[in-house]
Amino acid sequence: MSLISISEASELTAKSIPTIYRHIKDGELSQTDNKIDVTELLRLFGGFRPSADYHRENDLLRRSNADLKQDKEKLYQINDLLRRSNADLKQDKEKLYRIIASQQKWPPEQAVPLNPTEVRKPNKIVIDESLTQRLIRKLFFK
């Protein structure tokens, strides 16, 4: 037996407070300490209708979901741009290695290897912030 206040009963049933009191007065609803049993409400009204707050929250959630989907799509675009940029940078790096290797002649043991994977890479990754900022600005602030 779950008891709720008259104002809560009004919200659950989408009926006005005077209507709830009228049903109590007519004997259709019983009241205990200004509380009404939920099963009585179900018996009389057959079910509960969503309140206006429910509809507002549902609309807000729908809009938020749409915004999140748009943000997700933008992040996928940023990721794609960064991957392409990374591939371009790798190609540029390989070209520079070839140029440096072609300019170094002697001694051969000091020449830079043609394969960039043979070169010891530093552990620290440096990100060009200006490139990232430009990508974000392009996608989000058109």
pLDDT in tens, 54-98: 677 778 888 888 889 999 999 999 999 999 988 888 888 888 888
Angle at 60 between CA 56 and CA 61, to 5 degrees: 120
pLDDT in tens, 67-79: 899 999 999 999 9
* Candidate from 52-56, 102-106, 126-130, 134-138 with smallest mean pLDDT: 126-130
What per-residue confidence (pLDDT) applies to 11? 82
As a whole number of angstroms, the distance between CA 35 and CA 105 comes to 95
Amino acid at 22: R
pLDDT of residue 2 exceeding 80, the answer is yes
Which comes out higher in pLDDT, residue 101 or 96? 96
Percent of the chain with pLDDT over 90: 15
Look up the pTM and report it: 0.37
Residue matched to tokens 């994977």: 117
Range among 65-69, 123-127, 138-142 with highest mean pLDDT value? 65-69
Helix, strand, or coil (residue 3) = strand
Q: Give the pLDDT band of residue 9 (cuts 50, 70, 90).
A: confident
pLDDT of residue 119 exceeding 50, the answer is no
The region, left, alpha or beta by phi > 0 then psi within -120 to 50, assigned to residue 5 is beta
Q: Are strands 35-37 and 31-32 parallel, antiparallel or unpaired?
A: antiparallel
What per-residue confidence (pLDDT) applies to 30? 87
